Structure 1
């Protein structure tokens, strides 16, 4: 089976590519927009193809002789700006006779989820379902990883300010998400399913306690309002309200989702937040 991973030089794509090389996944190649970002180590280990999510013909060319495309969406916003990329994915897959698409989605995709990117993920899954293509849909919980860089700011502030209230959030590391994806690639019988790669669920009070232990200084949970949070982190313009809408979803209990898919796929337990931060902070 010939495999192509898109978005390979992004944060999650890097984890997947490194694990694919380490696990000797056969016939694994990557598709990127800027080949200059690909390391010499990767170029020696696998095939690199150039593609642009917003250029159909580049995707058709990159998908030639590929059986399975693993698609990682871009991070552009607002959500309607992303729609052409998934439409181009389906178009190119059909023209190039791709047999299967693995789409990497996000768990904030319920019909009543206020997260500004939720419409995109809802549309993407329904487009795949109606496309006639074979597909695997992998939803992932919230990344742990950004807290590593954010922790010094929180330690200086002395408080965790996420506007979540009594809501809880399920977190997983990018490394564990990649591990789950590699497990699927290692057994073709696992394709064609809908998965949720989740880790551990925390209240914000519990998360503040973990952050305090790792930072070595007291961090209390003291949330600001959604509007205040959006204004504090509105760089680039529009990103603050986007983040705030995600935490509104958490306050509604929509980001507590958990499944045992990771354990079933890998045979391991997902990493805890405290251990992850201790290893990476």
Structure 2
């Protein structure tokens, strides 16, 4: 009998793509999938297809073992907590303890590239989760996901409207990969039937500096876009004063640029192809497919 597979954070953008690939790409029967979320009502369409939908709150450790019951393989999608150092790690540890209590055998975890000694402020949560997995009785697969192409929606539309893209990343590059590709890879890792331990760093096929991205985005929407290099301190001030972002969140966001500047997300690997058998989507293709959204401001 095939394993029952569980996806946490199933109502999130990545979780939705994982479920779609489990059903459509990997041909996993709906009745062999459990989808957990804080908002089960949001997954009524999946429930109608035969997917088991359960409520799971990572801040309520006692409830998680029940939510995970009956699953043999579990995808732990990193939670989205910001501005609370260590809270994400506590949530993940709750989930791992519950997985063991529920009889889960294998956990797939979405981590980040090069979490050790990273200046990125969320890195300790990822590294701590990797260490917790390694110390557990579980077998595991760690997916060190590079940054989503979709993250560019947070900066490019306004930058294209203003004609200026501010960055503190210097000449650092990012090997962007689409969220759908990461969902495909996670589904493949979850649906396989081995208990081998492994780490995959999932990247696009090329790394891009902010200057590279600006040129590609400008061409995709036919608007000029200049890159303005600033200090991390000025970047934080701009987010707080210009966008009204709370300072603690702005500091955390700015640490992504610091991490990029020291080349922590520039490496390109073949791990996505190794998991899926196909090449990742190119950034130029993604920009062309989303040019209307990028030009909306």
Partner of 1:41 in structure 2?
45
Unmatched 5+ stretches in structure 2: 292-297
2:86 partner SS: helix
Aligned CA-pair RMSD? 1.6
- Is the CA contact (8 Å cut-off) linking 1:170 and 1:255 kept in structure 2? yes
Give me the whole-angstrom Cα distance separating, in 1, the residues matched to 2:91 and 2:148: 22
Partner of 1:261 in structure 2?
271
Which stretch shifts more, 50-59 or 146-155?
Answer: 146-155
Q: Residue deviations 1:79-131, cap 9 Å, x none?
A: 311122111112111211111111111115122x1110011111110011011
* Alpha-carbon offset, residue 249 of structure 1: 0.9
Asked whether 1:224 is paired with 2:230, we answer yes
* Alpha-carbon offset, residue 237 of structure 1: 4.1
Equivalent positions of 1:18-37 (< 5 A) are: 18-23=20-25, 24-26=27-29, 27-37=32-42
1:121 partner SS: helix
Aligned residues: 279
Q: Which runs of 4+ in 1 moved over 4 A?
A: none
Q: Report the TM-score when normalising by structure 2.
A: 0.89
Give me the whole-angstrom Cα distance separating, in 1, the residues matched to 2:168 and 2:247: 19
Equivalent positions of 1:17-96 (< 5 A) are: 17-23=19-25, 24-26=27-29, 27-38=32-43, 40-45=44-49, 46-77=51-82, 78-96=84-102
Give me the whole-angstrom Cα distance separating, in 2, the residues matched to 1:17 and 1:11: 10
Q: Residue deviations 1:158-216, cap 9 Å, x none?
A: 12212111111111110010111222234324852111111020122111110111121
Give me the whole-angstrom Cα distance separating, in 2, the residues matched to 1:84 and 1:149: 27
Give me the whole-angstrom Cα distance separating, in 1, the residues matched to 2:63 and 2:287: 39
Match of 2:257 among 247, 255, 258: 247
Q: Report the TM-score when normalising by structure 1.
A: 0.94
- Is the CA contact (8 Å cut-off) linking 1:148 and 1:277 kept in structure 2? no
Unmatched 5+ stretches in structure 1: none
Give me the whole-angstrom Cα distance separating, in 2, the residues matched to 1:201 and 1:239: 26
2:96 partner SS: helix
